[in-house]
Structure 1
């Protein structure tokens, strides 16, 4: 897809009305989503909000399952925010950060698998309503593992079954898909992953999208150390997004873990190569961030050490997109890591 002409395009530029597929309104899907709305906490619900972002930014993200995985409530909520932003001529349309983040992870997963030159494992930690196993052709030689709470995986499996039964052309793109019911905040998730068929010695891409900042500092560090340890066994790639400290103040009751300098943190854990991007960087805009005056571009032009925006006095809330890698035959060079 050519993203060069998107500018700061918003979803549904030619359609102000939200059109939802019939499947969203079926009895089965409505009953499943009544549990989501009434019983899930904010962490679990964030999975549906992410799916809604992918669904409503369909002009840049091809995810035919996103509508049903998001559910009517979250689709309508985000659609109303998008309409309000467009009415107010906002420079940052709601959901754009989810769109860029999704496209960044898609592109880096594909690049990592290409670098392996063959079959690999892809582990989605806190997979939520991610449908990559059904939409990314680059996974055709990969075994995909989705790790999440049992109730999330149960609802997701039921929604996917309903979608697959109603639409003929949907199919699994990955070589295999294994769902692993586990809480990555606990100590036993790696054991459960291995029991499910994960092979520690096999090349692996680890994906932590939209999840690590929900963990406590000790929980997040434990997860990162477990992944980093695999660099001593095999080619290992970590893809993750990190909030800086200022970003966690967006909702102190929800976000906990942060890192202002993940490109320093990850080498200290054992990764040999780390590259950090911010929303709007050359590999993280996808034609959606050309306006030099949008929030993300203004932040990119400020040194990362600055905590308060000198233009308006607001905290510099940043989201870092980070790829880290390592293997048994690589050594860490801290001198190459920006300080």
Structure 2
């Protein structure tokens, strides 16, 4: 098998962490996401994934949040034929393949130019690729603004400095007539703790952005309205977690406060 070496900056290299987690889930006897495309892609990369030190907790939570976000996208696309889907900070995710939208949906995979270049070479498909630094303005001009939009931002919030995520959200909701925003909502503690994951710490990335109250984005001036908070410790899929992680997760699920420090999926309409 021909292998290739990814040439990425520090922040961009974190995409390999989530790719590896999805690949490991796909190889489990009872996977949660079952993304075999990610597993096949990871096998083509000449990279020592062992140094990422991915633990079982990260594997199952990464797979579960991706599954729940996929479900949100599928539901929106089914209810809004001909809509636009934006996957912000898409990395090397295969979400479009998993969701398999109909041809009348325009799907945009958006990330740094070097990441988009890798996608074009190693993840060919029918999505539109947009290379952009999401902390800057101007990249939205490449997108249609006359249709409803489903916007997904998985794992992006902690890596955008200052108020750049809020500013980007305001620009997005102004660009499209209506839509939904779906994110995995990091609390402030979860974003702070993320800095101490071995891989994030080794790369020297200062991940710190988060919010505790799921209603806080409603104050960003982006016209957002919270419509759902999914606390993933209470998802039926926890039954597939390996022990003792399954028992610990179910114990955590008894406390809403503790559960919110883990994975949660937030949906907003605008």
Q: TM-score, normalised by structure 2?
A: 0.81
Matched with 1:52 is: 20
Matched with 1:234 is: 177
Give SS of 1:321's match. strand
2:161 to 216, 230, 250: 216
User: Cα distance, 1:273 vs. partner?
Assistant: 4.2
The verdict on how the C-alpha distance between 1:125 and 1:81 changes in structure 2, with shifts beyond 3 A counting, is closer
What CA RMSD, in Å, does the superposition of the two structures yield over aligned residues? 2.8
Matched with 1:157 is: 120
Matched with 1:178 is: 128
Give SS of 1:65's match. helix
Matched with 1:333 is: none
Matched with 2:188 is: 245
2:146 to 166, 177, 201: 201
User: Cα distance, 1:213 vs. partner?
Assistant: 1.3
Q: TM-score, normalised by structure 1?
A: 0.66
Q: Deviations over 1:192-216 (max 9, x none)?
A: xx3xxx2212011001011111112
CA contact (8 A) 2:96 2:107 kept: yes
Q: Say if 2:35 is the partner of 1:63.
A: yes
Matched with 1:73 is: 47
Which of the two has higher C-alpha Rg?
1
Matched with 1:319 is: 263
Matched with 2:88 is: 125
Give SS of 1:111's match. helix
Runs of at least 5 residues in structure 1 that lack an aligned partner in the other structure: 1-21, 83-91, 162-171, 310-315, 327-339
Matched with 1:103 is: 67
In structure 2, distance between residues paired with 1:76 and 1:144: 33
Q: Say if 2:224 is the partner of 1:271.
A: yes
The verdict on how the C-alpha distance between 1:140 and 1:264 changes in structure 2, with shifts beyond 3 A counting, is same
User: Cα distance, 1:105 vs. partner?
Assistant: 0.9
User: Cα distance, 1:179 vs. partner?
Assistant: 0.5
